[in-house]
Amino acid sequence: MTEPVLWLSDGSPHSPRFNDRYRSRTGGVAQAFTVFVAGCGLPQRWRSSDEFTVLETGFGLGLNFLTTWAAWEADAQRCERLHFVSVEAYPVAAADILRNAQVPELPGTAEPQLVARLPALALELAQAWQALQGGTQQLQFAGGRVCLTLAFGQVQPMLDGLDCIADAVYLDGFSPALNPEMWSHATLQAIARHCRAGTTLASYSVALGVRESLKQLGFSVCKRPGLPPKRHRLEALFVLT
Ligand SMILES: C[S@@+](CC[C@H](N)C(=O)[O-])C[C@H]1O[C@@H](n2cnc3c(N)ncnc32)[C@H](O)[C@@H]1O
């Protein structure tokens, strides 16, 4: 049984379980790129590595993954291999991933080259997705140069069971007020165990509790101007070795 997604009249996907939207109503790709990809210092940071690993909480409709893949593909100086690891307790249907990749962006908000690639990449993901079962799964794309590890289950046990060191972290688990579990100190601690000195972290949430936890766990944290309608977004750097 896949997670139901409610498509609102403005075209945005909504979660009845969490009563929150999966993506910004003013542009999903723009949010994915500005908040997460650029917020983690990409594409520049992957240029100095052979392999680069992104760890995400909340795979949802895969928009952050698809946008990261499109940005990697468009970068002539990209690393040899991109590994994207994401935790998801309530996987959606492949049809919703495809539909989400078709939602038009507001003009001028996102890089047209990335937006144009999304439906084709989403189709590849959706074709692989249909065979998915529970547990941890690995999917390969781009001739094996893009690897997607999907950990299907509750965030903390899945993070505890993962064997990876992240170069970048995307925190994307609905709003902390509506879904505190994804942003709890214990969850952020489980994430910090997968970080190294220099790991970057990004989120649309600048909730005080999240910032305080991240600081206690060894991140330097700063608020940046957000993408409307959000006033701020969060960037952090893991400094504890
Ligand atoms: C805002 S959506 C993620 C959007 C996604 N990153 C994208 O690019 O489409 C948040 C996701 O977190 C998942 N989630 C919420 N609580 C969770 C939990 N306790 N453990 C694992 N996943 C959870 C939801 O099912 C949802 O798919």
Question: How confident is the prediction along the chain (241 residues), in pLDDT tens digits per residue?
Answer: 899 999 999 889 999 999 999 988 778 999 999 999 999 999 999 999 999 999 999 999 999 999 999 999 999 999 999 999 999 999 999 999 999 998 877 766 678 889 999 999 999 999 999 767 778 999 999 999 999 999 999 999 999 999 999 999 999 999 999 999 999 999 999 999 999 999 999 999 999 999 999 999 999 999 999 988 889 999 999 997 6
Pocket test for ligand 1, best of 35, 99, 103, 174 (most atoms within 8 A of CB): 174
Residue 112 has what pLDDT? Answer: 87
CA distances from 40 to 13, 35, 105, 234, 236 (A): 25, 8, 22, 10, 8
Residue 228 has what pLDDT? Answer: 85
Give the start-to-end residue ranges of the domains of the chain: 27-238
Residues 241 and 205 sit within 8 Å (Cβ to Cβ): no
The architecture CATH gives domain 27-238: 3-Layer(aba) Sandwich (3.40)
Predicted TM-score (pTM) of the model is: 0.97
Residues 87 and 57 sit within 8 Å (Cβ to Cβ): yes
Residue 240 has what pLDDT? Answer: 74
86 CA closest ligand 1 atom index: 6
Query: Distance between CA atoms of 33 and 28, rounded to whole angstroms?
Result: 9
Spell out a b/e string for 129-145, using b for 16 or more CB atoms within 10 Å of the CB, else e. beeeeeeeeebebeeeb
Query: Distance between CA atoms of 174 and 57, rounded to whole angstroms?
Result: 10
Residue 241 has what pLDDT? Answer: 64
Residue 109 has what pLDDT? Answer: 67
Residue with the smallest CA separation from ligand 1 atom 17 is: 89
DSSP-assigned letters across all residues of 72-137: HHH-TT--SEEEEEEEESS-B-HHHHHHHHHSPPPTTSS-HHHHHHHHHHHHHHHHHHTT--SEEE
* Residues having CB within 6 Å of any atom of ligand 1: 22, 32, 56, 58-64, 87-90, 154-155, 172-174, 179, 181-182
